[in-house]
Every structure is written in C-alpha cells, then in structure tokens.
Structure 1
Amino acid sequence: MTPTVTAIDTFAADIERGLTQEPKTLASKYFYDEQGDLLFQRIMAMPEYYLTKCEYEIFLQQADAIQHVLGPEPFDLIELGAGDGMKTKVLLQHFLDRKIGFSYRPIDISSSVLQQLVADCAQAWPQLPVAAVQGDYMAALRKISSEDKGRKKVILFLGSNIGNFHWTEARRFLRQLRAMLNSG
C-alpha cells in the first residue's frame, strides 16, 4: 500500500524547504485563507497596485480580438489563480453577449474566494457552466484533464500570478504547463 501524503506533510515539506533556502521564503499559497483573500483584494484596490487595473483595461479594450483568436468552436476557459474573477468577468460577459459556447473553470488555492466567485457567476449568469477547482495549478489541471470532454481548453494565466514564483519555479511551471497543453 502506498502511503498517502497529507496536507500536513505538504505544509511541513514546504516550510522546511522555505526555511533552508537563502533568502528564506514561504510559499504564497499559505497567504490565501479568508483573511488573506480580503487583504489581497484591498491591496489590488490601492492606486499603487496598477497591474489589476491594466489587465482589466486590456480585457475591456481587447475582448473582440481575444474572441477572434479563440475562434468559433466551443471551449473551456480555465483560469489559473482566478481569485475574485473581477477582471475575467469582463471576458465572460463579452463571450456570453456574443453567444460563444464556453464553460468557465476557475482554479485557485483559496476555497473561500472560489465559493464567492461561483456564487457571483451563478447570480449574474445562471446559463454559464461554472465548475471551480480548488488546489494547486498542476493538480487542478490534471483533474480537469481527467474529465476531458474533447473540447478545446483555453488557459488564462494573468501576469500577477507568475510574480508569486521564484524565477526557477516560474520556468519549471511554464515548462510543465506547456507539456500539458495541446496545440491549437
């Protein structure tokens, strides 16, 4: 029988790894409980935190171009690090207004923020299929891949998320992500 790795085991390994590195680190996934989610939303609302506003504006101004690149066939929109979905809701509304066939699969480490996002989407767009996955990106993507319905998968990975990685982790993550994707 294979031993099961528990959340405590993972936490202990992450802490040990972080405390033995120079400089010492703590994986950002441990910041996002209910209080951490609220704090991060407040940070994003600050004038100094411009990235969220820039991404939001890009979606407002480029939604047609994004839709054009995605093409007419139905797809699953998989968002890594969805958070409260504030920026992505612009795209969701755009796609729904144009009767694009898609589902929304937000992924986030925080279960509380995902519950709120799913509730917000259900209230705003009851016709939109939404199925959130709580967990780390690769495990969540493997879960989604195992449920594959043969539809095109579109990965949405906005800029602020990659800033949570050390550059070596970012490179490894992007390589893993690339290996999971199909062409087209």
Structure 2
Amino acid sequence: MWNVNDDLIIGVFALQGDSREHLEALAECDVVARPVRRPEELATVHGLVIPGGESTTMSKLVGIFGLLDPIRERIKGGMPVYGSCAGMIMLADEVLDGRDDQVTFGGIDMVVRRNAFGRQVDSFEADVDIEGLEGDPFHAVFIRAPKVESVGEGVEVLARISGGEADGTIVAVKQGNLLATAFHPELTGDLRVHSLFVDMVRAAGR
C-alpha cells in the first residue's frame, strides 16, 4: 500500500532488455521510474515493468542476481507488473519453444510461444484496437514477438491482430494486476499503454 500523497514509484527490470525506453516513457507519465537490478531495489517500487529483450537470458540473470523468488513473491502479493514482448513471456505460466532450463515469473494463465512471428527480419508493425484505450488504434511494433496460444478463464484478452496471416492472434492480455503485450509500446511515443499500467498501479494501492 502507498499513501496517495507520496510519489508513485515504478521499477523497470534492468538486467537485460530495452529498459531505458520504458524508464523514459514512465517518467513522461509523471511517476518516479527506477531501474531494478537487485532485490533491495525491487522492495522500493509499487509496480514493475519487464521490458522486451531475450527471455532466455532474462531467465538466467534473475537467478544469478537473486530476483526470481522476490519477483514471484511480489506478484503473488498483488504487485502490478507489465511485461512487453520478452516480458510477456516472463509472465506466462507456460512457454512453448523455450529452453529446458528456462524459468518465468508466471502469474498469467496463458500459453505463450516464443519468436512466434519469425526472426528479427520478420519484425512488423500493425494497428491494433486495445480494450480500455480511448482514441485511435494503437500502432504496435512487433520485434521477434511472441504470441499467446491460449488463455485461461481468468484472463482478459485486450487486443488481437486484425487482418493478414496473423488475424485473430492474441497480442495483449490482463489478469488481475498483471498486464502483458507482445509488442513494444515504448518505441512508439504513444504513452497510452504505459498510462494504463500507471492507472493499474494507482488502483492497486488504494
């Protein structure tokens, strides 16, 4: 819990991935944004963003730096977490095409497939309608993106790709205080997804 008169502090997992872009986007949303690399830094934040990057490398580093169990415990305790791209993989309860020793934080009852749309050269952009966001469709950037193969009953599907070979593919979900997207909103200059997450963090602290 946090006092509404205090600064809202949102951490960004910064051991691997595009943490800088998320830190900048969160700062534009008028919150205190801090990199998180160690358990003592995690303990100071009200919410956490897990950025895009390489999920297998993240999986190794969370063990080396002692963050796996602390993040899992904070998730179980209700801390809001947002994962983009590799962050989506890290929040999935089940991952397809991962390494045998790959671990995740879990928390979202979904099955995610890594690199579902191909290699780096197969990256693409698409306009998607995201439930809960006002205005025009969100221009989403997909880079070696995962996709959601299936979700459990408690998962809210916020966005799907419309049109083309990937028509109907789930690319944004929410379960409780956890939010995940297969795309990178931090690369677009559109702050609506980050603002949505900030609102989730504020609501969780009330």
Fold similarity call, TM over 0.5:
no
Q: TM-score, normalised by structure 2?
A: 0.25
Q: Which has the higher helix share?
A: 1
Q: TM-score, normalised by structure 1?
A: 0.27
Larger radius of gyration: 1
Q: Which has the higher strand share?
A: 2
